[in-house]
Every structure is written in structure tokens, then in C-alpha cells.
């Protein structure tokens, strides 16, 4: 009788505790525990560095445009320094965003917005008729 009651108590305790333990804010995949991040991203469904190649290509194109503008003389040395500082700020932001090994959609949108602003700055400086004279 005592063993039947203790078995019943153990079964009820396990049945009550199992759902509470399963809902601890972690997703289980392949036997490892991975934290979930709510609205930010779902590591199971999203690729970690989705969109990073596009951002790096845009940065390389902007660097090239700035250097070409300096060589042709349509961008002054002061403008060159300012535009390159803007590019370095974008690179620092990118490094901070991918430090956790994941580029969230919001972070990707912010990087693209900053690159849009930088492209606008490059276009303005290249066409503002300030010339570098040798």
C-alpha cells in the first residue's frame, strides 16, 4: 500500500513539474539548450548573418567611390576625411551588431539606413563643385 501511494505521489509530482520545466524560455534543438530572444529573432528559423554580404558589398562600393572621387579631384581632402570617418562609424556599428554572432533584422535595417545616408553624403560631396586643385 505504501509503495502504491508513494508511486502515485511521484507520478503526480512529475506530471505537475514537467510542464513548468519545459516552459523556461529555452528552445530545445538536437539535445542542446538555446535561449530564445522573443521578438528579436528566432535562432532556429533564421540564418545568423543573413544580409551581411549585401552590407559588406555596399560598404566596399562606397569606399571605392570615395577614393575615386579623391583621385579625380571632385572630393577635397577634408571631405575625404569626413566621409571615411562616417564609413568607420558604420563599420564599428556593424562589428557591435554581429558581436553576438547574429545580425537581427532591426540591426540590418539600421545598417542599411546608415549606408543610405552615407551614399547621399558621398553624392552631395562629389557634386558640390568644390574641387581640389593640385
Task: Tell me the mean pLDDT in the region 47-59.
Answer: 86
DSSP 67-104: HHHHHHTSS-HHHHHHHHHHHHHHHHHHHHHGGGS---
- Give CA–CA dist 97/25, Å, rounded: 23
- Look at residue 134 and tell me whether its pLDDT is greater than 50: yes
What cell was used for 101? 554572432
Q: Which CA distances in Å does 13 have to 7, 17, 21?
A: 10, 6, 12
pLDDT in tens, 66-93: 999 999 999 999 999 999 999 999 999 9
**What is the domain partition of the chain in residue ranges?**
2-35, 52-126
Does the pTM of the predicted model rise above 0.75? no
Amino acid at each position: 500500500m505504501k509503495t502504491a501511494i508513494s508511486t502515485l505521489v511521484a507520478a503526480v509530482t512529475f506530471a505537475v513539474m514537467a510542464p513548468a520545466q519545459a516552459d523556461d524560455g529555452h528552445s530545445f534543438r538536437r539535445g542542446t539548450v538555446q535561449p530564445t530572444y522573443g521578438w528579436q529573432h528566432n535562432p532556429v528559423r533564421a540564418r545568423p548573418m543573413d544580409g551581411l554580404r549585401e552590407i559588406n558589398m555596399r560598404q566596399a562600393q562606397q569606399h571605392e567611390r570615395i577614393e575615386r572621387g579623391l583621385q579625380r579631384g571632385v572630393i577635397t581632402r577634408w571631405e575625404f576625411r569626413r566621409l571615411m570617418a562616417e564609413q568607420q562609424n558604420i563599420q564599428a556599428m556593424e562589428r557591435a551588431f554581429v558581436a553576438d554572432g547574429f545580425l537581427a533584422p532591426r540591426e540590418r535595417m539600421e545598417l542599411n539606413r546608415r549606408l543610405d545616408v552615407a551614399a547621399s553624403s558621398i553624392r552631395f560631396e562629389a557634386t558640390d563643385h568644390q574641387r581640389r586643385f593640385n
